[in-house]
Amino acid sequence: MTVYDTRLAGGRVFLHGSGLTDVDVLIKDGLVAGLVSRDAEAHAGEVVRLDGKLVLPGAIDPHVHLGKDIRIPRDPDDARLETASAAAGGITSMLVYLMSGDPYEGIVPGAQAVMEQDSYVDFGFHICVGTDDHVHDIPAYMRDFGISSFKFFMNFKGEEGAYLGLPGNDDGYMYDVLGMAADSGAMINPHPENIELVWKLKNRPIDESRGPLSMWNQSRPSFVEAEAVQRVAYMAQITGASVYA
């Protein structure tokens, strides 16, 4: 006879294709091991009475920045605090961006060690590419670390990316990134923003009475992003790259 660790009893469980369903959830070794009717016999070390509360699948947050400088998780607090908040909000998996101008073979192992030791949720990584060496090493990052998702910032021209340690790039760099992604089977996640339009619009009169968030939005209206999305989508079509924008 199987003895389960936990039985979630009396809840309304969301099932794909069926919606909210009156069943109990059986858990063993940290995994869902069964779904049974409420009157089914199943032995569990702990029974949690939910009294009609909703039981939902864990959500995935695919866009997370950790670390006190938002670049890389480096110490226990970087993982513990954010992932505890995620778990409390129903997030059970997150994909964390790693951002550096240095080679990532010296960065990923440390970030992974921090997350494995101190994260309360499952995790994976995206890598932000910003140098020619990064582009060249995309196949190695995929092979050695199992990372297949890469980000680049279309707005990092001139010194725009210096605060994250990333150099400036241009549309030629985007072409190289997309080409390598197409050859390697990687997914590219661009930050689409026409920074030249932003530079122009920041010099316009802005209504400061509406607060800093409104001021930011006025300097970056939706067409600044829309134009960049169209540009990267067209170049993805040309190169055959897979892009999520």
Per-residue pLDDT reduced to its tens digit, 158-198:
999 998 889 999 999 999 999 999 999 999 999 999 999 99
Write down the pLDDT at residue 213.
Answer: 85
Rounded to an integer, the average pLDDT of 49-77 is 93
* Interatomic CA distance for residues 54 and 36, integer angstroms: 16
* Full strand arrangement of the beta sheet holding 12-15: 19-21, 12-15, 54-55
Of 102, 108, 1, 76, give the one whose Cα is nearest residue 44. 1
Is 78 a residue whose pLDDT tops 80?
yes
Write down the pLDDT at residue 201.
Answer: 86
Q: Which amino acid would we find at residue 157?
A: K
Task: State the DSSP code for 164.
Answer: G
Rounded to an integer, the average pLDDT of 26-36 is 93
Q: Which two tokens stand for residue 109?
A: 């192992």
Write down the pLDDT at residue 164.
Answer: 87
